[in-house]
């Protein structure tokens, strides 16, 4: 578990990725040193309309320049405020928070399953693995969205050299269908390769990946989202039920949980 830092930083770079997706880089933020793939930050937005901070997964860090990237899609009040941010605007950042993904073993295939705005923590994870010497050909990057405009940062994924498997509901980019159908085909036909799955995305997708992991006895990890008022384990607003009984806080024991661990 990391020791979070609470500090103001400034918007250094912004990229409009179209279809309401944005990449923002903030800095200087002293907490970047401790960031790991799967961690998130809690952002304090300068508006009386938005009382609670908003959680955003860390998408990349530049430790030398103490910069941190987030990637978000505008869906409500908080993200609408963020979308109006201008260069050099300040933001309060608390983080890094939560736990992180564990590395696949050397001989394993890492099957990454990203759905929609579940992409950011998995992009960070895949880049971290590749930069750490993990063979990119042993990383399968399944990425699903409703249509082509939901499959963002394609150049970034291709640059990593991973095996990219995009799918869209309407077939406008990649194969047509649900991403979990592609994942199931791979698990069913993949022979006796040792696979570890890593998923982040909509609840229904996570439930399907969880079911696949249990059905095909494939281990892995799911990064969950939950309403997150405090982000530091105090308010119990982000509780999930565990299969073995009891509860866990997504912000503190998570957001990354093992396949089969949480009652989804």
Ligand X SMILES: Cc1cc2nc3c(=O)[nH]c(=O)nc-3n(C[C@H](O)[C@H](O)[C@H](O)COP(=O)(O)OP(=O)(O)OC[C@H]3O[C@@H](n4cnc5c(N)ncnc54)[C@H](O)[C@@H]3O)c2cc1C
Q: Which does 214 bind (CB under 5 to 8 A by kind): ligand X, ligand FES, none?
A: none
The answer for 217, left when phi > 0, alpha when psi is -120 to 50, beta otherwise, is left
**120 contacts 28 by C-beta, under 8 angstroms:** no
Nearer to ligand X (CB atom), residue 43 or residue 111:
43
Q: Please report how close the Cβ of residue 3 comes to ligand X at its closest, in angstroms.
A: 18
Residues that bind ligand X (CB under 6 A): 40, 54-57, 70-73, 75-79, 117, 120, 225-226, 228, 255
Q: Please report how close the Cβ of residue 59 comes to ligand X at its closest, in angstroms.
A: 7
Nearer to ligand FES (CB atom), residue 45 or residue 251:
251
Q: Please report how close the Cβ of residue 98 comes to ligand X at its closest, in angstroms.
A: 6
Round the CA-based radius of gyration of the chain to a whole number and report it.
Answer: 18
Residue 188, judged by CB atoms within 10 A of its CB (0-12, 13-18, 19+), counts as exposed
Q: Which does 4 bind (CB under 5 to 8 A by kind): ligand FES, ligand X, none?
A: none
Q: Which does 28 bind (CB under 5 to 8 A by kind): ligand X, ligand FES, none?
A: none
CA dihedral 141, 259, 145, 110 (to 10 degrees): 0
Other Cβ atoms closer than 10 A to 230: 17
Q: DSSP for 215-232, please give it.
A: HTT--EEEE-----SSSS
Distance of CA 255 to the CA centre of its chain: 9
**197 contacts 114 by C-beta, under 8 angstroms:** no
Q: Which does 249 bind (CB under 5 to 8 A by kind): ligand X, ligand FES, none?
A: ligand FES
Nearer to ligand FES (CB atom), residue 109 or residue 238:
238
DSSP H helical ranges for 134-176: 154-160
Q: Which does 248 bind (CB under 5 to 8 A by kind): ligand FES, ligand X, none?
A: none
Nearer to ligand X (CB atom), residue 100 or residue 180:
100
Q: Please report how close the Cβ of residue 31 comes to ligand X at its closest, in angstroms.
A: 15
Nearer to ligand X (CB atom), residue 100 or residue 138:
100
Q: Please report how close the Cβ of residue 160 comes to ligand X at its closest, in angstroms.
A: 18
Residues that bind ligand FES (CB under 6 A): 228-231, 233-238, 249, 251
Nearest to 82 by CA among 41, 51, 45: 45
Q: Which does 79 bind (CB under 5 to 8 A by kind): ligand X, ligand FES, none?
A: ligand X
């Amino acid at each position: 578990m990391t020791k979070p830092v609470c500090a103001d930083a400034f918007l250094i770079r912004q990229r409009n990725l179209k279809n309401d997706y944005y990449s923002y880089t903030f800095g200087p933020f002293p907490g970047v040193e401790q960031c790991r793939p799967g961690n998130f930050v809690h952002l304090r937005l300068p508006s009386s309309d938005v009382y609670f901070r908003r959680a955003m997964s860390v998408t990349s860090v530049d430790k030398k320049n103490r910069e941190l990237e987030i990637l978000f899609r505008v869906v409500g009040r908080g993200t609408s405020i963020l979308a109006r941010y201008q260069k050099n605007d300040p933001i309060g950042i608390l983080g890094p928070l939560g736990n992180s993904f564990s590395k696949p073993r050397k001989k394993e295939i890492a099957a990454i399953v990203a759905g929609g705005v579940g992409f950011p923590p998995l992009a960070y994870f895949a880049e971290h693995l590749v930069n750490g010497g993990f063979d990119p050909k042993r990383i399968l990057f399944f990425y699903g969205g409703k249509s082509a405009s939901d499959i963002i940062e394609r150049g970034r994924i291709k640059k990593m050299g991973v095996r990219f498997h995009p799918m869209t509901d309407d077939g406008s980019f990649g194969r047509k269908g649900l991403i979990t159908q592609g994942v199931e085909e791979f698990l069913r036909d993949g022979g006796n390769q040792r696979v570890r799955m890593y998923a982040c995305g909509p609840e229904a997708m996570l439930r399907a990946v969880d079911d696949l992991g249990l059905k095909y006895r494939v281990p892995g990890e799911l990064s969950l989202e939950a309403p997150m008022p405090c982000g530091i384990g105090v308010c119990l607003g982000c509780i999930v039920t565990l299969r073995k009984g009891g509860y866990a806080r997504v912000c503190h024991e998570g957001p990354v949980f093992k396949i089969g661990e949480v009652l989804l």
